[in-house]
Amino acid sequence: MNSPSLANNNSKEDNSMFKEIEPGLKATETLISLLCKLFDVIIPDFKGCADDLQEVCNKILEANKNVVKWINKFRDFDLSDSKYKNKFSNLVGEYRELKTGKGYQTLKFDCRQIERIYNERIGRNKLKELFSEDKLELAALAFEELSAADAVLVEFVHKEVFESLDEVCTSMETAINEGNLKAANIAQMKFKVISFPVYSRLQEIGNGLSDLVIKFHDLADRKSTHITYNNS
């Protein structure tokens, strides 16, 4: 694990990396926080609401996991493996195929699906049943931002994710082809330091979404509409 002091030394790079996704990350974090507060209230149409919210969380979670997975492929690549040259070559091929194919779509959630679920099955009327008046606007805004985040997410995938992965991929590939294992290690370490702040944030978001998916799944299966989780 990289120390916070190392990340601070690269504050310029940290501040620029993944900056375009900030609105989407913030909206997701807001939604997680608000949904967590539901577990100490009574929800009228309980099962349908729990199912819908579980589906929203699941869609965001899958995209989040795919982004983290690709960061991990380069962060955690084992340069001490006896077959690291062939394995890294395969990774480079897999990554370039991802970029030129439709696989990059898995790195973002489908905002149109989020919008459809929200408009057709949740909507403002359902939110009024879930949130107090002072939280209603915040919840509605979070859903609206997630429903309209396509441009931001495309920018994130093409500019921030691919540019960052391109840099570490090219640096490591060049060093490996030149037989300079030390340079390959340095390139990988630099990527770990630069990506650490957002990487950690994405992991926290993933943990929060996973927890919500599990809870909504459990609650949807209950016969009682009373939610007994504590709101801390």
- In which band, very low, low, confident or very high, does the pLDDT at 34 lie, cut at 50, 70 and 90? confident
Average pLDDT over residues 206-230: 69
Q: Residue 149 is encoded by which pair of tokens?
A: 């985040």
- In which band, very low, low, confident or very high, does the pLDDT at 40 lie, cut at 50, 70 and 90? low
Cα 201 to Cα 131: distance, rounded to the nearest angstrom? 26
Average pLDDT over residues 35-61: 72
More confident residue, 155 or 208: 208
Select the highest-mean-pLDDT range: 4-13, 37-46, 73-82, 207-216: 73-82
Which residues share a beta bridge with 42? 226
- Looking at every residue in the chain, the average pLDDT score rounds to 78
Q: What is the pLDDT of residue 106?
A: 77
Cα 219 to Cα 215: distance, rounded to the nearest angstrom? 6
Average pLDDT over residues 10-25: 53
Q: What is the pLDDT of residue 14?
A: 45
Does the pTM surpass 0.85? The reply is no
Q: Which of 23-27, 94-98, 174-178, 212-216 has the lowest mean pLDDT?
A: 23-27
Of 30, 21, 36, 46, give the one whose Cα is nearest residue 154.
21
